[in-house]
């Protein structure tokens, strides 16, 4: 599922909230803008100052994406929350083994805490894991949306996927962390 799915779910559950999706992908931006009546989208480099007033945001959602801690802190209200979803080391492990996908750094969570610690304090962390039955199309989409897409030739990856039986069982394993501004 894409971050657009999560943005729409948050907006659905919080009727008084307006959402903004920031991305560099025109495809992702079109989907974000159409995901919900209260969603907007802007093409933006995550490492540049966000097009948002300081302390104007109640909630920042970051799903499997780079994080600009200083900007998250600047735009969040003092009572706001930063929710970050990161892959756990065993995320899509079955696909890593069969397709040669890149693995997740086991120190990822510790590095996240360290990079945010000057501006944020951890509030809650929860590990989630479930098994998915994936079609070849699902596997291709998952493979090409991650960093592996830049490390394996697409034709080679498609040939490897074709050798898998479907539905293919793969484990989604991730960590959901809530941080509060200091």
pLDDT of residue 19: 83
pLDDT of residue 44: 84
pLDDT on residue 58: 87
Cα separation, 105 vs 88, whole angstroms: 8
Could you give the CA distance from residue 53 to residue 18 in angstroms, rounded to a whole number? 14
Exposure letters 90-113 (e unless 16+ CB within 10 A, then b): bbbbbbbeebebeebeeeebeebe
Partners of 176 in beta bridges: 85, 126
What average pLDDT values come out for the chain (182 residues) when binned by 10 residues? 74 84 78 83 88 91 89 94 93 93 88 94 96 95 82 92 94 95 96
**What pLDDT is stored for residue 75 in this prediction?**
93
Six-digit token string for 125? 């962390």
| Amino acid 14: pLDDT | 85
What angle in degrees, to the nearest 10, is found between the helix axes of 3-13 and 26-35?
20
pLDDT value for 182: 95
Residue 8 backbone zone (phi > 0: left; psi -120 to 50: alpha; other: beta): alpha
Query: What pLDDT was estimated at residue 161?
Result: 95
- Quick one: which of 154, 140, 134, 17 has its CA closest to 77? 17
pLDDT score for 149: 75
């Amino acid at each position: 599922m894409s971050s657009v799915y999560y943005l729409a779910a948050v907006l659905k559950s919080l009727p008084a909230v307006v959402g903004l999706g920031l991305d560099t992908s025109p495809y992702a931006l079109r989907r974000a803008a159409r995901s919900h009546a209260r969603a907007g989208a802007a093409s933006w480099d995550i490492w540049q100052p966000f097009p948002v007033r300081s302390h104007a945001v109640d909630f920042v959602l970051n799903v499997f994406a780079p994080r600009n801690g200083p900007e998250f802190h600047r735009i969040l209200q003092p009572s706001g929350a930063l929710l970050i979803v990161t892959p756990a080391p065993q995320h899509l492990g079955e696909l890593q083994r069969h397709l040669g996908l890149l693995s997740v750094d086991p120190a990822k969570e510790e590095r996240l805490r360290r990079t945010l610690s000057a501006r944020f304090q951890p509030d809650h962390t929860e590990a989630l894991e479930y098994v998915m039955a994936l079609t070849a199309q699902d596997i291709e989409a998952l493979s090409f949306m991650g960093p592996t897409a830049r490390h394996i030739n697409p034709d080679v990856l498609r040939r490897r996927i074709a050798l898998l039986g479907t539905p293919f069982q793969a484990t989604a394993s991730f960590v959901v962390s809530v941080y509060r501004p200091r």
